[in-house]
Amino acid sequence: MNQDVGEETGGGDMLEAARRVKLKRLIELGVDPWGGRFDDSLPISQIRDMQSQIEVQAQDPASDRPPQERGPKVRAAGRIVLQRKKGKLIFADIRDATGQIQLFIGRKQVGEDDWNVAECFDLGDLIGVDGELKHTRTGELTIFAERLHFLCKSLETPPEKHKGLTDPELRQRMRYLDLIYTEGAMDRFLKRSAIVSSVRETLASRRYVEIEGPTLHSVAGGAAARPFSTHHNALDMPLYLRIALELHLKRVLVGGVERVFELGRVYRNEGISPRHNPEFTMLEAYQAYGDYRTMMDLTERIIGDALLAIGHQGPIPWGDRRIDFTPPFQRATYDELFAKHTEVDPGDEQAVAKFAESLEIETGDRHPDVVKNEVFERCVEDKLTGPIFVMDYPASICPLTKRNRENPNIAERFELFVEGMEIANAYTELNDPDLQEQLFQTQLAGQKAEDSMATMDHDFLRALRNGMPPAGGLGIGIDRLTMLLTDSQTIRDVILFPLLRLEAR
Protein backbone atom coordinates (compact mmCIF):
# COMPACT_ATOMS: atom_id res chain seq x y z
CA MET A 1 0.00 0.00 0.00
CA ASN A 2 1.71 3.19 -1.17
CA GLN A 3 -1.02 5.59 -2.12
CA ASP A 4 -1.21 9.30 -2.42
CA VAL A 5 -3.67 11.39 -4.35
CA GLY A 6 -1.50 11.07 -7.45
CA GLU A 7 -1.18 7.31 -7.52
CA GLU A 8 -4.82 6.19 -7.70
CA THR A 9 -5.36 6.93 -11.36
CA GLY A 10 -6.73 5.12 -14.39
CA GLY A 11 -9.02 2.13 -14.61
CA GLY A 12 -11.87 3.68 -12.64
CA ASP A 13 -14.07 0.58 -12.73
CA MET A 14 -11.19 -1.61 -11.57
CA LEU A 15 -10.29 0.77 -8.77
CA GLU A 16 -13.88 0.93 -7.57
CA ALA A 17 -14.02 -2.86 -7.64
CA ALA A 18 -10.90 -2.96 -5.44
CA ARG A 19 -12.57 -0.62 -2.99
CA ARG A 20 -15.65 -2.82 -2.89
CA VAL A 21 -13.43 -5.80 -2.09
CA LYS A 22 -12.18 -3.88 0.94
CA LEU A 23 -15.75 -2.92 1.79
CA LYS A 24 -16.65 -6.61 1.86
CA ARG A 25 -13.54 -7.38 3.94
CA LEU A 26 -14.56 -4.79 6.56
CA ILE A 27 -17.97 -6.42 6.85
CA GLU A 28 -16.32 -9.83 7.27
CA LEU A 29 -14.21 -8.34 10.07
CA GLY A 30 -17.40 -7.25 11.82
CA VAL A 31 -16.72 -3.56 11.15
CA ASP A 32 -19.54 -1.25 10.06
CA PRO A 33 -18.08 0.42 6.92
CA TRP A 34 -20.44 3.38 7.32
CA GLY A 35 -19.43 4.17 10.89
CA GLY A 36 -21.43 5.74 13.65
CA ARG A 37 -21.26 8.13 16.55
CA PHE A 38 -17.72 9.25 17.39
CA ASP A 39 -17.69 11.70 20.28
CA ASP A 40 -15.01 13.97 21.73
CA SER A 41 -12.71 14.24 18.72
CA LEU A 42 -10.80 17.52 18.56
CA PRO A 43 -10.38 19.76 15.51
CA ILE A 44 -7.02 19.03 13.92
CA SER A 45 -5.99 22.68 14.23
CA GLN A 46 -6.54 22.42 18.00
CA ILE A 47 -4.51 19.21 18.14
CA ARG A 48 -1.65 20.90 16.28
CA ASP A 49 -1.76 23.72 18.84
CA MET A 50 -1.14 21.13 21.59
CA GLN A 51 2.41 20.66 20.29
CA SER A 52 3.71 22.75 23.21
CA GLN A 53 2.49 20.03 25.62
CA ILE A 54 4.96 17.48 24.26
CA GLU A 55 7.73 16.79 26.79
CA VAL A 56 11.23 15.55 25.98
CA GLN A 57 12.26 12.76 28.34
CA ALA A 58 15.62 12.78 30.10
CA GLN A 59 18.13 10.26 28.73
CA ASP A 60 21.69 9.08 29.14
CA PRO A 61 24.02 11.77 27.70
CA ALA A 62 26.15 9.00 26.21
CA SER A 63 23.24 7.55 24.25
CA ASP A 64 23.17 8.09 20.49
CA ARG A 65 19.41 7.44 20.30
CA PRO A 66 17.16 10.43 19.47
CA PRO A 67 15.43 12.01 22.49
CA GLN A 68 12.24 10.25 23.56
CA GLU A 69 9.01 12.25 23.87
CA ARG A 70 5.83 12.02 25.88
CA GLY A 71 2.82 13.79 24.44
CA PRO A 72 -0.84 14.35 25.24
CA LYS A 73 -3.46 11.75 24.37
CA VAL A 74 -5.69 13.00 21.53
CA ARG A 75 -8.69 11.86 19.51
CA ALA A 76 -9.09 12.98 15.89
CA ALA A 77 -11.33 12.28 12.94
CA GLY A 78 -10.75 13.09 9.30
CA ARG A 79 -10.49 11.99 5.70
CA ILE A 80 -7.43 10.11 4.46
CA VAL A 81 -5.70 12.27 1.83
CA LEU A 82 -2.36 10.48 1.70
CA GLN A 83 -1.05 7.10 2.84
CA ARG A 84 2.00 4.90 2.35
CA LYS A 85 2.90 1.49 3.77
CA LYS A 86 6.34 0.38 4.89
CA GLY A 87 6.18 -3.23 6.03
CA LYS A 88 4.34 -3.29 9.34
CA LEU A 89 3.93 0.49 9.42
CA ILE A 90 1.44 2.78 7.70
CA PHE A 91 1.84 6.55 7.52
CA ALA A 92 -1.36 8.40 6.65
CA ASP A 93 -2.42 12.03 6.52
CA ILE A 94 -5.97 12.88 7.57
CA ARG A 95 -7.70 16.20 6.99
CA ASP A 96 -10.71 17.93 8.52
CA ALA A 97 -12.16 21.41 8.00
CA THR A 98 -9.44 22.95 10.16
CA GLY A 99 -6.25 21.30 8.98
CA GLN A 100 -4.20 18.18 8.27
CA ILE A 101 -2.02 15.90 10.39
CA GLN A 102 0.05 12.74 9.96
CA LEU A 103 -0.80 9.42 11.59
CA PHE A 104 1.71 6.70 12.50
CA ILE A 105 0.00 3.32 12.48
CA GLY A 106 2.14 0.41 13.66
CA ARG A 107 0.92 -3.17 13.55
CA LYS A 108 2.40 -3.81 16.99
CA GLN A 109 1.02 -0.59 18.46
CA VAL A 110 -2.61 -0.94 17.32
CA GLY A 111 -2.93 -4.72 17.53
CA GLU A 112 -3.94 -7.31 14.97
CA ASP A 113 -7.64 -6.41 14.77
CA ASP A 114 -7.08 -2.73 14.06
CA TRP A 115 -4.20 -3.55 11.70
CA ASN A 116 -6.58 -5.65 9.62
CA VAL A 117 -8.89 -2.64 9.50
CA ALA A 118 -6.02 -0.34 8.51
CA GLU A 119 -5.22 -2.60 5.56
CA CYS A 120 -8.71 -1.78 4.22
CA PHE A 121 -7.99 1.95 4.16
CA ASP A 122 -8.28 3.85 0.86
CA LEU A 123 -7.79 7.49 0.01
CA GLY A 124 -10.99 9.36 0.81
CA ASP A 125 -12.04 7.07 3.67
CA LEU A 126 -13.14 8.75 6.90
CA ILE A 127 -11.47 7.37 10.01
CA GLY A 128 -11.07 8.15 13.68
CA VAL A 129 -7.94 7.67 15.76
CA ASP A 130 -6.94 7.66 19.42
CA GLY A 131 -3.27 8.12 20.10
CA GLU A 132 -0.36 10.10 21.47
CA LEU A 133 0.77 13.35 19.90
CA LYS A 134 4.53 13.34 19.32
CA HIS A 135 7.13 13.99 16.64
CA THR A 136 8.67 11.46 14.29
CA ARG A 137 12.42 11.21 13.98
CA THR A 138 12.26 13.69 11.10
CA GLY A 139 10.40 16.17 13.30
CA GLU A 140 6.93 15.72 11.75
CA LEU A 141 4.09 16.33 14.20
CA THR A 142 2.23 13.02 14.28
CA ILE A 143 -0.49 11.14 16.10
CA PHE A 144 0.92 7.75 17.06
CA ALA A 145 -2.19 5.57 16.76
CA GLU A 146 -3.25 3.31 19.62
CA ARG A 147 -6.81 2.64 18.45
CA LEU A 148 -8.49 3.03 15.04
CA HIS A 149 -12.15 3.64 14.23
CA PHE A 150 -13.62 3.20 10.75
CA LEU A 151 -16.16 5.99 10.07
CA CYS A 152 -17.07 5.79 6.37
CA LYS A 153 -15.87 3.98 3.25
CA SER A 154 -15.29 6.01 0.08
CA LEU A 155 -16.21 4.06 -3.05
CA GLU A 156 -15.17 6.73 -5.57
CA THR A 157 -11.59 7.30 -6.68
CA PRO A 158 -10.32 10.77 -5.68
CA PRO A 159 -9.04 13.18 -8.34
CA GLU A 160 -5.50 12.76 -9.61
CA LYS A 161 -3.05 14.65 -7.42
CA HIS A 162 -1.28 16.86 -9.93
CA LYS A 163 -4.11 17.41 -12.42
CA GLY A 164 -6.73 17.62 -9.69
CA LEU A 165 -10.00 19.44 -10.35
CA THR A 166 -8.68 21.87 -12.94
CA ASP A 167 -11.97 22.25 -14.82
CA PRO A 168 -13.84 25.13 -13.09
CA GLU A 169 -17.25 23.70 -13.98
CA LEU A 170 -16.27 20.31 -12.57
CA ARG A 171 -15.17 21.98 -9.35
CA GLN A 172 -18.49 23.80 -9.09
CA ARG A 173 -20.57 20.76 -9.99
CA MET A 174 -18.73 18.49 -7.55
CA ARG A 175 -18.13 21.07 -4.85
CA TYR A 176 -17.72 18.29 -2.28
CA LEU A 177 -14.51 17.20 -4.05
CA ASP A 178 -13.41 20.81 -4.50
CA LEU A 179 -13.66 21.34 -0.74
CA ILE A 180 -11.68 18.19 -0.02
CA TYR A 181 -8.92 18.40 -2.59
CA THR A 182 -8.54 21.96 -3.96
CA GLU A 183 -6.11 24.00 -1.95
CA GLY A 184 -7.79 27.08 -0.50
CA ALA A 185 -11.36 26.06 -1.34
CA MET A 186 -12.35 25.06 2.19
CA ASP A 187 -10.72 28.17 3.64
CA ARG A 188 -12.57 30.41 1.19
CA PHE A 189 -15.98 29.07 2.17
CA LEU A 190 -15.19 29.14 5.87
CA LYS A 191 -14.26 32.79 5.41
CA ARG A 192 -17.57 33.40 3.67
CA SER A 193 -19.34 31.99 6.71
CA ALA A 194 -17.27 34.21 9.00
CA ILE A 195 -18.12 37.26 6.86
CA VAL A 196 -21.86 36.53 7.05
CA SER A 197 -21.66 36.01 10.82
CA SER A 198 -19.72 39.26 11.18
CA VAL A 199 -22.37 41.20 9.22
CA ARG A 200 -25.05 39.94 11.58
CA GLU A 201 -22.96 40.76 14.65
CA THR A 202 -22.20 44.28 13.41
CA LEU A 203 -25.87 45.01 12.81
CA ALA A 204 -27.00 43.43 16.08
CA SER A 205 -24.46 45.57 17.96
CA ARG A 206 -26.17 48.62 16.46
CA ARG A 207 -29.64 47.48 17.55
CA TYR A 208 -30.81 46.22 14.16
CA VAL A 209 -33.46 43.50 14.29
CA GLU A 210 -33.23 40.61 11.81
CA ILE A 211 -36.46 39.49 10.15
CA GLU A 212 -37.43 36.91 7.55
CA GLY A 213 -39.53 38.21 4.71
CA PRO A 214 -41.44 36.08 2.19
CA THR A 215 -39.58 34.63 -0.78
CA LEU A 216 -42.80 34.22 -2.79
CA HIS A 217 -44.27 37.57 -3.84
CA SER A 218 -47.53 38.35 -5.58
CA VAL A 219 -45.90 41.52 -6.99
CA ALA A 220 -42.23 41.49 -8.04
CA GLY A 221 -40.93 44.79 -6.69
CA GLY A 222 -38.06 46.59 -5.04
CA ALA A 223 -35.72 46.45 -8.04
CA ALA A 224 -35.67 46.55 -11.82
CA ALA A 225 -35.13 42.93 -12.82
CA ARG A 226 -36.86 40.04 -14.52
CA PRO A 227 -38.29 37.62 -11.94
CA PHE A 228 -38.73 33.87 -11.91
CA SER A 229 -42.43 33.09 -12.01
CA THR A 230 -44.37 30.21 -10.50
CA HIS A 231 -47.97 29.30 -9.65
CA HIS A 232 -49.73 28.47 -6.40
CA ASN A 233 -52.23 25.73 -7.09
CA ALA A 234 -54.44 25.98 -4.01
CA LEU A 235 -55.03 29.72 -4.44
CA ASP A 236 -54.79 29.53 -8.24
CA MET A 237 -52.59 32.61 -8.42
CA PRO A 238 -49.29 33.55 -10.08
CA LEU A 239 -46.33 34.20 -7.78
CA TYR A 240 -42.74 35.39 -8.21
CA LEU A 241 -39.51 34.53 -6.47
CA ARG A 242 -38.40 37.74 -4.82
CA ILE A 243 -35.98 39.98 -6.68
CA ALA A 244 -35.31 42.23 -3.66
CA LEU A 245 -35.96 42.45 0.09
CA GLU A 246 -36.84 46.12 0.21
CA LEU A 247 -40.60 46.54 0.20
CA HIS A 248 -41.36 44.11 3.02
CA LEU A 249 -38.58 45.55 5.19
CA LYS A 250 -40.10 49.00 4.72
CA ARG A 251 -43.47 47.65 5.81
CA VAL A 252 -41.74 46.62 9.05
CA LEU A 253 -40.40 50.18 9.41
CA VAL A 254 -43.97 51.41 9.13
CA GLY A 255 -44.90 48.93 11.85
CA GLY A 256 -42.46 50.54 14.27
CA VAL A 257 -39.27 48.47 14.14
CA GLU A 258 -36.87 51.35 13.67
CA ARG A 259 -33.76 49.36 12.67
CA VAL A 260 -34.36 46.25 10.63
CA PHE A 261 -32.45 43.99 8.25
CA GLU A 262 -32.68 40.78 6.32
CA LEU A 263 -29.85 38.64 5.00
CA GLY A 264 -31.26 36.25 2.46
CA ARG A 265 -31.51 34.88 -1.07
CA VAL A 266 -32.97 36.80 -3.97
CA TYR A 267 -33.59 35.56 -7.51
CA ARG A 268 -33.28 37.33 -10.85
CA ASN A 269 -34.01 35.61 -14.16
CA GLU A 270 -31.03 37.13 -15.91
CA GLY A 271 -27.64 36.20 -17.33
CA ILE A 272 -24.71 34.35 -15.78
CA SER A 273 -21.22 35.84 -15.69
CA PRO A 274 -18.16 36.01 -13.40
CA ARG A 275 -20.08 38.68 -11.42
CA HIS A 276 -23.67 37.44 -11.73
CA ASN A 277 -25.55 34.36 -10.58
CA PRO A 278 -29.36 34.13 -10.88
CA GLU A 279 -29.60 33.18 -7.19
CA PHE A 280 -27.55 35.31 -4.82
CA THR A 281 -27.35 36.54 -1.23
CA MET A 282 -28.31 40.08 -0.36
CA LEU A 283 -28.19 42.14 2.80
CA GLU A 284 -30.72 44.93 3.11
CA ALA A 285 -30.86 47.14 6.19
CA TYR A 286 -33.06 50.15 7.04
CA GLN A 287 -32.62 52.70 9.80
CA ALA A 288 -35.40 55.09 10.79
CA TYR A 289 -34.35 58.73 11.06
CA GLY A 290 -31.16 58.10 9.07
CA ASP A 291 -30.25 58.93 5.46
CA TYR A 292 -27.85 57.74 2.77
CA ARG A 293 -24.89 59.25 4.62
CA THR A 294 -25.82 57.21 7.67
CA MET A 295 -25.62 54.18 5.41
CA MET A 296 -22.13 55.16 4.23
CA ASP A 297 -20.88 55.00 7.81
CA LEU A 298 -22.64 51.66 8.32
CA THR A 299 -21.14 50.23 5.12
CA GLU A 300 -17.62 51.15 6.19
CA ARG A 301 -18.21 49.54 9.58
CA ILE A 302 -19.65 46.32 8.10
CA ILE A 303 -16.71 45.86 5.74
CA GLY A 304 -14.12 46.75 8.38
CA ASP A 305 -15.57 44.27 10.86
CA ALA A 306 -15.78 41.56 8.20
CA LEU A 307 -12.10 42.00 7.38
CA LEU A 308 -11.17 41.60 11.04
CA ALA A 309 -13.39 38.50 11.25
CA ILE A 310 -11.29 36.75 8.58
CA GLY A 311 -7.98 37.91 9.98
CA HIS A 312 -7.12 40.87 7.74
CA GLN A 313 -5.67 44.19 8.77
CA GLY A 314 -4.44 46.78 6.30
CA PRO A 315 -4.60 46.48 2.49
CA ILE A 316 -5.71 43.11 1.12
CA PRO A 317 -4.70 41.34 -2.12
CA TRP A 318 -6.88 41.45 -5.24
CA GLY A 319 -5.12 39.74 -8.14
CA ASP A 320 -1.89 41.68 -8.67
CA ARG A 321 -3.26 44.72 -6.84
CA ARG A 322 -4.06 45.59 -3.24
CA ILE A 323 -7.23 47.18 -1.89
CA ASP A 324 -7.15 49.53 1.08
CA PHE A 325 -10.46 49.54 2.96
CA THR A 326 -9.29 52.02 5.58
CA PRO A 327 -12.18 54.43 6.24
CA PRO A 328 -13.30 56.94 5.24
CA PHE A 329 -13.74 55.71 1.67
CA GLN A 330 -13.42 58.15 -1.22
CA ARG A 331 -16.65 60.00 -2.10
CA ALA A 332 -17.51 61.61 -5.44
CA THR A 333 -20.71 62.59 -7.23
CA TYR A 334 -22.10 60.76 -10.23
CA ASP A 335 -21.79 63.86 -12.43
CA GLU A 336 -18.20 64.53 -11.35
CA LEU A 337 -17.16 61.03 -12.32
CA PHE A 338 -19.17 61.13 -15.55
CA ALA A 339 -17.39 64.32 -16.65
CA LYS A 340 -13.97 63.03 -15.59
CA HIS A 341 -14.13 59.74 -17.51
CA THR A 342 -16.09 60.81 -20.61
CA GLU A 343 -15.00 64.47 -20.93
CA VAL A 344 -18.66 65.23 -21.68
CA ASP A 345 -20.78 67.74 -19.75
CA PRO A 346 -23.31 65.53 -17.89
CA GLY A 347 -25.85 68.37 -17.93
CA ASP A 348 -25.78 68.71 -21.74
CA GLU A 349 -28.37 66.18 -22.95
CA GLN A 350 -27.49 66.64 -26.62
CA ALA A 351 -23.77 66.14 -25.99
CA VAL A 352 -24.47 63.03 -23.90
CA ALA A 353 -26.77 61.64 -26.61
CA LYS A 354 -24.16 62.27 -29.30
CA PHE A 355 -21.49 60.57 -27.19
CA ALA A 356 -23.84 57.63 -26.55
CA GLU A 357 -24.47 57.22 -30.28
CA SER A 358 -20.71 57.07 -30.85
CA LEU A 359 -20.76 54.06 -28.51
CA GLU A 360 -23.68 52.54 -30.47
CA ILE A 361 -26.01 53.05 -27.52
CA GLU A 362 -29.62 53.45 -28.59
CA THR A 363 -31.01 56.92 -27.81
CA GLY A 364 -34.35 57.12 -29.63
CA ASP A 365 -37.49 57.21 -27.45
CA ARG A 366 -35.41 56.74 -24.32
CA HIS A 367 -35.28 59.08 -21.34
CA PRO A 368 -32.04 61.13 -21.42
CA ASP A 369 -31.07 59.93 -17.93
CA VAL A 370 -31.47 56.29 -18.97
CA VAL A 371 -29.11 56.94 -21.89
CA LYS A 372 -26.75 58.82 -19.61
CA ASN A 373 -26.69 55.96 -17.11
CA GLU A 374 -25.89 53.43 -19.83
CA VAL A 375 -22.92 55.60 -20.80
CA PHE A 376 -21.92 55.71 -17.13
CA GLU A 377 -22.08 51.93 -16.86
CA ARG A 378 -20.10 51.52 -20.07
CA CYS A 379 -17.40 54.16 -19.60
CA VAL A 380 -17.09 54.93 -15.90
CA GLU A 381 -17.80 51.94 -13.67
CA ASP A 382 -14.86 49.81 -14.80
CA LYS A 383 -12.48 52.66 -13.94
CA LEU A 384 -13.65 52.92 -10.33
CA THR A 385 -10.96 51.00 -8.45
CA GLY A 386 -12.13 52.41 -5.13
CA PRO A 387 -13.42 51.78 -2.65
CA ILE A 388 -15.45 54.81 -3.70
CA PHE A 389 -18.97 55.97 -2.88
CA VAL A 390 -20.60 57.28 -6.07
CA MET A 391 -23.20 59.78 -4.82
CA ASP A 392 -26.23 61.65 -6.12
CA TYR A 393 -27.67 59.74 -9.06
CA PRO A 394 -30.19 61.16 -11.56
CA ALA A 395 -33.54 61.15 -9.78
CA SER A 396 -35.47 59.77 -12.75
CA ILE A 397 -33.72 56.38 -12.52
CA CYS A 398 -34.26 56.07 -8.74
CA PRO A 399 -38.00 55.56 -8.15
CA LEU A 400 -37.67 54.55 -4.48
CA THR A 401 -35.29 57.34 -3.45
CA LYS A 402 -35.85 60.71 -1.79
CA ARG A 403 -34.92 63.73 -3.87
CA ASN A 404 -32.33 66.28 -2.81
CA ARG A 405 -34.05 69.32 -1.27
CA GLU A 406 -31.89 71.84 -3.14
CA ASN A 407 -31.98 69.99 -6.48
CA PRO A 408 -34.95 67.63 -7.05
CA ASN A 409 -33.27 66.27 -10.20
CA ILE A 410 -30.79 64.48 -7.92
CA ALA A 411 -31.62 61.42 -5.83
CA GLU A 412 -29.92 60.91 -2.46
CA ARG A 413 -28.41 57.61 -3.46
CA PHE A 414 -24.95 56.09 -3.46
CA GLU A 415 -23.38 53.00 -4.92
CA LEU A 416 -20.12 51.64 -3.54
CA PHE A 417 -17.69 50.51 -6.24
CA VAL A 418 -14.54 48.48 -5.72
CA GLU A 419 -12.42 47.31 -8.65
CA GLY A 420 -15.19 48.16 -11.08
CA MET A 421 -17.83 46.15 -9.19
CA GLU A 422 -20.90 47.55 -7.51
CA ILE A 423 -20.82 46.19 -3.96
CA ALA A 424 -23.46 48.27 -2.19
CA ASN A 425 -26.44 50.46 -3.07
CA ALA A 426 -28.13 52.85 -0.63
CA TYR A 427 -30.81 55.53 -0.53
CA THR A 428 -32.37 58.14 1.58
CA GLU A 429 -35.69 56.34 1.37
CA LEU A 430 -38.70 57.95 -0.28
CA ASN A 431 -41.60 58.03 2.20
CA ASP A 432 -44.02 60.37 0.39
CA PRO A 433 -46.84 57.99 -0.68
CA ASP A 434 -48.26 60.32 -3.36
CA LEU A 435 -44.89 60.89 -5.00
CA GLN A 436 -44.12 57.18 -4.72
CA GLU A 437 -47.34 56.30 -6.52
CA GLN A 438 -46.59 58.86 -9.23
CA LEU A 439 -43.08 57.43 -9.74
CA PHE A 440 -44.41 53.88 -9.87
CA GLN A 441 -46.87 54.94 -12.58
CA THR A 442 -44.08 56.58 -14.55
CA GLN A 443 -41.93 53.50 -14.24
CA LEU A 444 -44.77 51.18 -15.23
CA ALA A 445 -45.23 52.98 -18.54
CA GLY A 446 -43.68 50.86 -21.26
CA GLN A 447 -42.71 47.96 -18.97
CA LYS A 448 -42.95 44.51 -20.46
CA ALA A 449 -45.46 42.30 -18.65
CA GLU A 450 -42.76 39.82 -17.67
CA ASP A 451 -40.50 42.46 -16.08
CA SER A 452 -40.49 43.50 -12.44
CA MET A 453 -42.68 46.36 -11.29
CA ALA A 454 -45.04 45.77 -14.20
CA THR A 455 -47.78 45.68 -11.56
CA MET A 456 -48.43 48.36 -8.96
CA ASP A 457 -47.83 47.22 -5.38
CA HIS A 458 -50.95 48.82 -3.87
CA ASP A 459 -50.39 47.33 -0.42
CA PHE A 460 -46.95 48.93 -0.20
CA LEU A 461 -48.46 52.30 -1.07
CA ARG A 462 -51.12 51.73 1.57
CA ALA A 463 -48.36 51.03 4.10
CA LEU A 464 -46.65 54.32 3.18
CA ARG A 465 -49.91 56.20 3.67
CA ASN A 466 -49.87 55.02 7.28
CA GLY A 467 -46.56 56.84 7.74
CA MET A 468 -43.04 55.49 7.24
CA PRO A 469 -40.36 57.37 9.18
CA PRO A 470 -37.61 59.10 7.18
CA ALA A 471 -34.92 56.48 6.82
CA GLY A 472 -31.70 55.37 5.23
CA GLY A 473 -31.62 52.04 3.44
CA LEU A 474 -28.68 49.88 2.36
CA GLY A 475 -28.20 46.82 0.16
CA ILE A 476 -24.92 44.87 0.01
CA GLY A 477 -24.25 41.95 -2.33
CA ILE A 478 -22.72 39.37 0.00
CA ASP A 479 -21.30 37.25 -2.83
CA ARG A 480 -19.42 40.14 -4.42
CA LEU A 481 -18.21 41.34 -1.03
CA THR A 482 -16.89 37.85 -0.34
CA MET A 483 -15.17 37.81 -3.74
CA LEU A 484 -13.25 40.94 -2.83
CA LEU A 485 -12.36 39.94 0.71
CA THR A 486 -11.12 36.46 -0.35
CA ASP A 487 -9.35 37.50 -3.59
CA SER A 488 -11.70 35.40 -5.74
CA GLN A 489 -11.98 36.49 -9.36
CA THR A 490 -15.37 34.91 -10.08
CA ILE A 491 -18.60 34.89 -8.10
CA ARG A 492 -18.94 31.16 -8.80
CA ASP A 493 -15.95 30.49 -6.54
CA VAL A 494 -17.72 31.97 -3.50
CA ILE A 495 -21.16 30.39 -4.05
CA LEU A 496 -21.12 26.78 -2.91
CA PHE A 497 -23.57 25.60 -5.55
CA PRO A 498 -23.89 28.08 -8.44
CA LEU A 499 -26.45 27.46 -11.17
CA LEU A 500 -25.03 25.14 -13.86
CA ARG A 501 -26.24 23.69 -17.12
CA LEU A 502 -27.74 20.22 -16.89
CA GLU A 503 -25.01 17.61 -16.76
CA ALA A 504 -24.62 15.53 -19.92
CA ARG A 505 -25.40 11.88 -19.30
Q: Using alpha carbons, select from 83, 125, 78 the residue that is nearest to residue 99.
A: 78
To 5 degrees, how large is the angle CA 283–CA 286–CA 290? 135
Query: pLDDT-based confidence at 196, cuts 50/70/90?
Result: very high
Looking at the DSSP assignment, which residues form a beta bridge with residue 441?
none
The amino acid sitting at 65 is: R
* Residue 223 pLDDT: 82
**Is the pLDDT score of 5 beyond 50?**
no
Class of domain 185-329+386-493: alpha beta
- Give me Rg for the CA atoms of the chain: 29
DSSP-assigned letter for residue 113: H
Are 2-60+69-162 and 185-329+386-493 the same fold in CATH?
Answer: no
* Residue 163 pLDDT: 58
What's the mean pLDDT in 209-221?
93
Average pLDDT, the chain: 91
**Is the pLDDT score of 470 beyond 80?**
yes
State how far the Cα of 142 lies from the Cα of 74, in Å rounded to an integer: 11
pTM of structure: 0.90
Best-predicted range by mean pLDDT (11-25, 218-232, 269-283, 470-484): 470-484
What's the mean pLDDT in 444-455?
55
What's the mean pLDDT in 66-75?
90
Q: Using alpha carbons, select from 247, 255, 248, 253 the residue that is nearest to residue 471.
A: 253
* Residue 365 pLDDT: 85
Task: Classify 44 as helix, strand or coil.
Answer: helix
To the nearest 10 degrees (0 to 180), the angle between helices 458-465 and 433-444 is 160
pLDDT in tens, 274-315: 889 999 999 999 999 999 999 999 999 999 999 999 999 899
Query: pLDDT-based confidence at 167, cuts 50/70/90?
Result: confident
Query: pLDDT-based confidence at 9, cuts 50/70/90?
Result: very low
Query: pLDDT-based confidence at 445, cuts 50/70/90?
Result: low
Of the listed ranges 22-36, 56-70, 164-178, 365-379, the one predicted with least confidence: 56-70
CA atoms within 13 A on the CB side of 282: 29
pLDDT in tens, 94-125: 999 999 999 999 999 999 999 999 999 999 99
DSSP class per residue in 284-328: EEEEET--HHHHHHHHHHHHHHHHHHTT--S-EEETTEEE--PSS
State how far the Cα of 51 lies from the Cα of 444, in Å rounded to an integer: 66
* Residue 217 pLDDT: 93
* Residue 164 pLDDT: 59
pLDDT in tens, 242-282: 999 999 999 999 999 999 999 999 999 998 888 899 999 99
State how far the Cα of 69 lies from the Cα of 55, in Å rounded to an integer: 6
pLDDT in tens, 217-236: 998 888 888 999 999 999 99
* Residue 336 pLDDT: 97
358-378 exposure pattern, b = at least 16 Cβ within 10 A, e = fewer? eeebebeeeebbebbbbbbee
Asked if 217 and 229 touch (Cβ cutoff 8 Å), the reply is no
Query: pLDDT-based confidence at 6, cuts 50/70/90?
Result: very low
* Residue 8 pLDDT: 42
CATH 2.40.50.140 fits 2-60+69-162, yes or no: yes
Query: pLDDT-based confidence at 149, cuts 50/70/90?
Result: very high
157-179 exposure pattern, b = at least 16 Cβ within 10 A, e = fewer? bbbbbeebbeeeeebbbbbebbb
Report the run of H or E that residue 101 belongs to, with start and end: strand 99-106
State how far the Cα of 137 lies from the Cα of 120, in Å rounded to an integer: 27
Asked if 72 and 83 touch (Cβ cutoff 8 Å), the reply is no
Spatial neighbors of 431 by CB under 8 A, at least 6 apart, are 402, 464, 467, 468, 469, 470, 471
Residue ranges of domains in the chain:
2-60+69-162, 185-329+386-493
